[in-house]
Amino acid sequence: MAPRTRAEALSRERIVEAAVELLDADGERGLTFRTLTERLATGPGAIYWHVPNKGALLDAATASVIAAALTVDAGRSPQDEIRAIGLSLFEAIESHPWLSPQLALQLSRSPRGSVTPRIFEAIGQRVSALGIPENTWFTATSALVHYVFGAAGQNAANSRVLGPGVDRAEFLRAAANAWEDLDPAEFPFLRSIADEVREHDDREQFLTGIELILAGMTGGSRRP
């Protein structure tokens, strides 16, 4: 993490880029105005000239990573593209775990922050191509987006715990073992699925969840 000598002039893009690198390297706590100024070989005042505050900087970092994740190849069906977008977001959050709480905050802020609207738009376009009634589009899209965020968030949290040194299979095994040791009276369900936890594949499970929602949307019964 050697401080870089200032070749080019400072710019909003260079600041955001450096912020993403710091976040990727050390998580939320890796990004402070001290680490940032050191990395960019400048002072805090210079950064405040380009960015109004730290929140805006986090927003910009989030937007730049998500925008890249939302561009996926054309698929052979809307369903395929929904799977592709979901998986792309899933992987983006997996490799940038700091995105998860950030997205949770972004989710609101009305339609101001451009991130959530873009995700809604990307998935909604495919939902509207599924051939389901127009008055179900909004709800169906919301369900998909919420599921993706929830699932990806959990996964991000896992990969955060894992860290660089920890083996994934090892981690799952330990978690499953811990669940098996829980009080049978209080946690019968967790004990019953411990075996499955040990062997499951995150990505596959994520996609199966999308499948559940797609099945409910296109084939399932509607609520009375």
Total residues binding a copy of itself (CB under 8 A): 71
Q: What part of residues 43-82 is at the interface with a copy of itself (CB under 8 A)?
A: none
Q: Taking CB within 5 to 8 Å according to partner kind, which of DNA, a copy of itself, none is near residue 213?
A: a copy of itself
Q: Taking CB within 5 to 8 Å according to partner kind, which of a copy of itself, DNA, none is near residue 55?
A: DNA
Do the Cβ atoms of 97 and 156 come closer than 8 Å?
A: yes
Our finding on whether 118 is near DNA (CB under 7 A) is no
CB burial readout 141-166, b (16+ within 10 A) else e: bebbbebbbebbbebbebbeeeeeee
Choose, by CB under 7 A, the member of 3, 4, 25, 49 that binds DNA: 49
3-class secondary-structure state, position 131: coil
Of the candidates 7, 8, 11, 116, the one whose C-alpha atom is nearest the C-alpha of residue 59 is 116
Our finding on whether 34 is near DNA (CB under 7 A) is yes
- DSSP code for 73: -
Choose, by CB under 8 A, the member of 4, 6, 29, 109 that binds a copy of itself: 109
Our finding on whether 9 is near DNA (CB under 7 A) is yes
CB burial readout 66-78, b (16+ within 10 A) else e: beebbebeeeeeb
Q: What part of residues 86-105 is at the interface with a copy of itself (CB under 8 A)?
A: 100-101, 104-105
Do the Cβ atoms of 206 and 82 come closer than 8 Å?
A: no
Q: How far is the CB of 191 from a copy of itself (least distance, A)?
A: 9
Helix extents (H) in 71-136: 78-95, 99-106, 115-127
Cβ proximity to a copy of itself, 14 vs 171, nearer residue = 171
Q: What part of residues 159-188 is at the interface with a copy of itself (CB under 8 A)?
A: 160-161, 171, 174-175, 178-179, 182, 186-188
Our finding on whether 31 is near a copy of itself (CB under 8 A) is no
Q: What part of residues 54-93 is at the interface with DNA (CB under 7 A)?
A: 54-55
- The whole-angstrom separation of Cα 26 and Cα 170 is 23
Cβ proximity to a copy of itself, 4 vs 112, nearer residue = 112
